[in-house]
Amino acid sequence: MVDQLRVNLGNRSYLLHFGDDLASEVRAQVDALIRAGRKVADLTDRNLVQAQGPALTRMLGDVPLLTVEPGEDTKSLRGLGQVLDFLAEQRLDRGGVLLIAGGGVIGDLGGFAAASYLRGIPFLQVPTTLLSMVDSAVGGKTGINLKAGKNLVGAFHQPNGVYISTGLLATLPPREFAAGMAEVIKYGLLGDAALFAQLEKTPLTVASAELGAVVRRCCAIKAALVEADEYERAKDGGRALLNLGHTFGHAIEQVAGYGSYLHGEAVAIGLCAAARLSQKLKLISSADVARVDAVVAAHALPVRLRQPLPWSALQAAMLRDKKVRAGAPRFIVLQQVGVAATRDDVSLALAEACFREVGAS
């Protein structure tokens, strides 16, 4: 029996399907669409084709497939054009469906292409990395990067279904699994102190018996926040809490150059910086900061920059971030481990101090 979780968004509601191997369920959905006269096309990347070729074949059959290069460079205007041209070449109409199999880059790129092509077509997500399973495949945020910053172009476009097969993680490189753990740690910090304590006690690995349950737990937290604040418009809290560590992390990614740090690695350093910010605001203790550092390190993630990055460039990147309000960056802070809040009153001097403590120059 496949476990399911519903994301309740009125006429845009959809199911998250959980299991170790959902290839047959995906294939059944693809076959049903084709029988109904609807064209299906698939987007994936070269790494997944090499690592999970047989699984893709079981899921897709002979559905037309576009394979793109992995990495943040693909999540670009050029990459978007490539996907849109592919959809047009396959003559998908508004009843057509794009199936997206891959990690966060492919999901964001494909979702935005689906939102843009013919002003919006349906799409299905098959996330294949831990990061995409627990975070980016759920909630309908799609987009691409510009030279000026991360995810500055995009759209809210909810999927029609998400199929989360944790067995696909068996071939995920250890560094990519660790990157996904940054988002898992984030969920514990912002809304589940028991999950954080569990990670403190026993680091999660791809072989952990509780992996599937933890993935579902993170998805349930995100689904609840998305249901309450789908378009991130809440004055305080809401969906913005999911950006814990990301104001710092996105700046690191941009200044270091996309690909120098995996997204999860930059977020991990961002979580450590956010913990320091929370302590400087007298919300948590130095012992709590040490707990955050310890859990991040225990999951093979960086707590500091590998090489110093200039504060001036990091500041400029933060001020171009999509979360800026009235010219000031917006930060997510910890009121305590397991409870987060938005803050719009953080001075750049305070942000600088936190960045310097994690290795900025």
Q: What pLDDT does 140 receive?
A: 97
Residue 148: pLDDT band with limits 50, 70, 90: confident
For the cut 90, the answer to whether the pLDDT of residue 226 exceeds it is: yes
Q: How many CB atoms lie within 10 A of CB 16?
A: 25
pTM higher than the cut 0.75: yes
Cα separation, 77 vs 237, whole angstroms: 31
Phi-psi label, residue 3: left if phi above 0, alpha if psi -120 to 50, beta otherwise: beta
pLDDT tens per residue, range 11-55: 999 999 999 999 999 999 999 999 999 999 999 999 999 999 999
Does the active-site annotation cover 183? yes
| CB burial string 28-38: b at 16+ within 10 A, e below | ebbeebeeeeb
CATH class of 3-171: alpha beta
Residue 1: pLDDT band with limits 50, 70, 90: low
Cα separation, 258 vs 265, whole angstroms: 12
Does the active-site annotation cover 243? yes
Question: Over the chain, what is the mean pLDDT?
Answer: 96
Does the active-site annotation cover 246? yes
Catalytic residue among 216, 250, 276, 299: 250
Quote the distance between the C-alpha of residue 296 and its chain's center.
17
Segment 288-303 mean pLDDT: 98
Does the active-site annotation cover 119? yes
The domains spanning 3-171 and 174-357 adopt the same CATH topology: no
Cα separation, 129 vs 117, whole angstroms: 25
Cα separation, 48 vs 103, whole angstroms: 9
Segment 333-355 mean pLDDT: 96
For the cut 80, the answer to whether the pLDDT of residue 323 exceeds it is: no
The amino acid occupying position 118 is L
Q: Are strands 65-68 and 97-102 parallel, antiparallel or unpaired?
A: unpaired
Q: The tokens of 24 are what? A: 């047959």
Helix axes 311-319, 246-256, angle to 10 degrees: 120
The architecture CATH gives domain 174-357: Up-down Bundle (1.20)
**Total length of the chain:** 361
Least trusted range by pLDDT, from 33-47, 185-199, 233-247, 316-330? 316-330
Q: The tokens of 130 are what? A: 């831990």
Catalytic residue among 11, 35, 119, 235: 119
Does the active-site annotation cover 69? no
pLDDT tens per residue, range 108-145: 999 999 999 999 999 999 999 999 999 999 999 999 99
Q: What pLDDT does 328 receive?
A: 77
Give the start-to-end residue ranges of the domains of the chain.
3-171, 174-357
Catalytic residue among 183, 230, 253, 265: 183
DSSP characters for 10-50? GGG-EEEEEES--HHHHHHHHHHHHHTT--EEEEEEHHHHH
pLDDT over 70, % of the chain: 99
Catalytic residue among 222, 276, 291, 330: 222
The amino acid occupying position 65 is L
Segment 79-108 mean pLDDT: 98
Does the active-site annotation cover 157? no
Residue 67: pLDDT band with limits 50, 70, 90: very high
Cα separation, 229 vs 345, whole angstroms: 22
Segment 280-302 mean pLDDT: 98
Does the active-site annotation cover 222? yes
- Beta carbons of 320 and 148 less than 8 angstroms apart: yes
Catalytic residue among 141, 157, 216, 330: 141
Cα separation, 354 vs 357, whole angstroms: 5
Q: What pLDDT does 60 receive?
A: 94
